[in-house]
Amino acid sequence: MRYVIVGFGVAGIAAIEAIRSVDKENEIVLVGDDPNGFYSRPGLAYFLTGELHDKALYPRTANDFKRLRFNTIRGRVTRIVREKQELEIEGKPPLMYDRLLLAVGAQAMPLEVPGANLDGVLKLDHLEDAKKILKYARRGKTAVVVGGGITALELVEGFVARGVKVHYLLRGDRYWSNVLDEQESRIVEHRLEEEDVALHYHAEVTEVIGRNGRVHGIRLLDGKVLKCDLVAYAIGIRARTELAKQSGLAIDRGILVNEYLQTNDPIIFAAGDVAQAYDPLTKRSILDSLWGPARQQGYTAGLNMAGKKTAYIKSAPFNVTRLAGLTTTIIGTVGRGKDDDLVGIARGDSETWRHLPEAIVAQTGFEVNRLRLLVGEKKLLGAIVMGDQKLSFPLEKIVSGNVDISPIREKLLAPNARVGDIVADFWSNYQTTAVKK
């Protein structure tokens, strides 16, 4: 019996941990094409700003891996031959599998304009990309950043930290409008302006202009030209579904899996950014690009591969991130609820956030500390906490635990309600009652 895991990311590693917790004997082979192995991708943002050294990006030691007893093949899987239960790997002999996990993640959507292949056009998928960005980011240079989500902002912040002048292009009239509300977008934009970032609204690149093979500027949809040395883009990601598609597995925006993370071939599983898993909250199969769910999916897939039948119960997506230096926690469903927003998910993002639930908004705070709650009939369906993070832990528990908030619903929705204080009191009482029970 041989388990084969494709993908050296958090989903792949979690699957190995789960398999070993059940099956101490059988062979596990991990195939991965990233020369840097397993590291924290969310940590790349802090590597760019200089807050983290690359050595701090590795969550596991060589000893941790040794204990898990698996073999590693460095290489790229190019084909799955399902009839033979075999993988084709570039430059390597074929590899037979009894159980297969596809944990191949997602990749940046390409910038499809003339000049996009010029030297100085950058993206942020891997550690190698981050190292390349640092090589190019020198004081006195000018960069144009394109894209609306978390990663685009991480690129902006990385450049600012390295003394690069930044032009930040937004396609619409505000930052990340399908997840943040107007006030939240403006808080972020204001902070960027304070960092001397030039914001351009309704701005779309139509061409990267080159000189001697290097970036020299960009042309915008309105014909305007901006001179720059670098162009960095984060315009969304795409699940790496090619292997699954080629071998006839069911795919949609990602590889479709059932609650056991199983594809339509019962011996092939998928987990992490590449998997489109069922979300009971929105009753849809959705994509996440979040470390926590990727880990949870990988672990659950591993248990199922080793014969311990376990359903994947998706919890409310949760991310603590930094938007223009402001710690921000996003929980559950918080978006505008337009279905067309589902086109293109970004890094550190969840499709769940885009759905607007049947809910009323309660909010408080105007400047740095802001709190927005999506209040349903009896439950809180989502929350955004910006700045002061005192309430992010209780809110995560309240949203993901489907806690009945009927006793405070009216109070939360009253005009000028002190939403933060109401939640804090409720949580403190809730905990006391829970302990007594």
Ligand X SMILES: Cc1cc2nc3c(=O)[nH]c(=O)nc-3n(C[C@H](O)[C@H](O)[C@H](O)COP(=O)(O)OP(=O)(O)OC[C@H]3O[C@@H](n4cnc5c(N)ncnc54)[C@H](O)[C@@H]3O)c2cc1C
Residues contributing to the site for ligand X (CB under 6 A): 6-12, 31-34, 41-42, 44-45, 76-77, 103-105, 124-125, 150-151, 154, 240, 243, 272-273, 289-292, 294, 319, 321, 347-348
CB nearer ligand X, residue 277 or residue 422: 277
Minimum separation from the CB atom of position 436 to ligand X (A): 35
CB nearer ligand X, residue 255 or residue 408: 255
Minimum separation from the CB atom of position 223 to ligand X (A): 32
CB nearer ligand X, residue 150 or residue 371: 150
Minimum separation from the CB atom of position 269 to ligand X (A): 12
CB nearer ligand X, residue 209 or residue 342: 342
Minimum separation from the CB atom of position 237 to ligand X (A): 8
Minimum separation from the CB atom of position 124 to ligand X (A): 5
CB nearer ligand X, residue 154 or residue 184: 154
Minimum separation from the CB atom of position 132 to ligand X (A): 13
What distance in Å separates the CA atoms of residue 116 and residue 134, rounded to the nearest whole number? 19
CB nearer ligand X, residue 351 or residue 359: 351
CB nearer ligand X, residue 295 or residue 379: 295
What distance in Å separates the CA atoms of residue 123 and residue 118, rounded to the nearest whole number? 13
Minimum separation from the CB atom of position 276 to ligand X (A): 12
What is the end-to-end Cα distance of the chain in Å, rounded? Answer: 47
